Structure 1
Amino acid sequence: MSHTAHIRSHRKPRSRTASTIAMRAGVAGGILSTVAVAGASAAANAAEPVTQTLELPTLTADLSAQVAQSAEATQLAAANYQLQAERDAAAAAAAKEAAKDLAAAKKAEARKKAAEEARQAAAERASRDSQRTTLAAAADTGSSSVSTSASTSASTATGSAAAVIDFVRAQVGDAYVSGGTGPNSWDCSGLVQAAFRQVGIDLPRVSQDQSTAGTQVSLDNLQPGDILYWGGAGSAYHVAVYVGGGMFVGAQNPSTGVVEKPLSYDPPSGAVRVL
């Protein structure tokens, strides 16, 4: 203990005036009020929900350029798809139109071919009618002599002539087909060629050449096995085989086929002999 502790202080105690006490009380109250308000504010803030705000990054110049390029590329791709679709549609339409044109061309060609065949048939009929008119008188005046000669020849047909006649008569009733060479369908020159092949004679294929293949003979001196022709020698359009008795066998046309007919049915223009 200090040696002065027992000495009573001679200071006068401070007198606290009422104003000082009041001032201090006011300060303390203000402090307490401030603390209370701060506490209430903190409690109120604690009761409210906290919301976080996220800030999106700001587009830079490079990123903006990339976005613009991507949009432009998307638009370009869409335009290309549209263009390709239009091209495909145009190609399909062109192909369809080409197919229609081809079909129309084929039909036109078929009509043209049919008209040409009809014209040729009409020309042949006209030529044959003209030949019939020209030869009608000769056929009438010479029919008796031809018939007499034919009757005699029919009874004396032998050898190769008989073989040719037997062959053509065996085909009577077969169909007529242009270009036909047997065994069940014939055209006129195909039948004649096949008949003479039976006896080892190789005739030309077409009527024009067959009409000059042998020796020309008159119609009033026919023998069985002679080749009859219609039209000019070298330009004949039809041939047949004389079988005697005033009769011939030939592949006439599609409606009659192979038939045996009298000479008066279709008087020939001439005849050749190859046997």
Structure 2
Amino acid sequence: MSSTSTPRTVLITGTSSGIGLAAAVAAARAGWNTVATLRDPSRADALRKAAAEAGVELDIRQLDVVDEASVAAAVDGVIADYGRLDAVVNNAGAGHVGTLENDSVADVREVMEVNFFGVLNVSKAALPHLRATGGRLITVTSVGGVVGQPFNEAYCAAKFAVEGYMESLAPVARTVGVSVSVIEPGAVATEFVTNIGLDIEAEIAAAGPYADAMRSYIDVVVGQFMDGAQTPAGAAEAVMEALTADSPAFRIQTTDWARTFTGAKLADLDGSAVLAMTGAWVG
């Protein structure tokens, strides 16, 4: 990243809670002009409270990643007010639990729209400005962007797509001075799962022939979130690593568990180890 005495500017999406909120506060604490964006500004109370408690200032703005006009307005506004954009953190996303036979294609398209095309909308708008500063394009994906997981077909497909796109973009972006990284959290104690709006018993009741498998899967996942989830602040440390390291890695896991989990896939040439692992989740 180019050196300058001017404070660097970062735009972060999806900052109403969780990793996005924690990353926004951490970036501001590190001295960045931090533009914290969210789809619904009425949900910014927790963000403002966290900033006040940390003694930092955030520039909170509206940005809906699936609305190209909203994205363009937000990025243009940052350039108008700060004169530069040094980094973008694509954090906004939405979860989804379901399986192919029971999901509609429209359900899958909606998941892809937010988690994949939303990332592309923001990244495309930002890239000319990141080229100008030798900046950084950082995207929060998931271990689900490496390892496909039962009842997460649509979500994992979107995250796989993001990882494939960014892995392909990274060497191209490097030729114009832009660093590309993806952050791969495992279970994080955030509002993400709550925000899916999942009624567990209703989902199981509607699962038909997949009911037993879904109950088994949910038992595994609840155990992960209850017992092994890291804090949003812990996950945000990986974002800050990508934001500030001299030469950040392309792929950054946020915990030892995430490194072990994704490592099993990356070393599994024929796919048998991963399918044995995830098959056990559904009985």
The TM-score with structure 1 as length reference comes to: 0.20
Structure having the higher Rg: 1
The TM-score with structure 2 as length reference comes to: 0.19
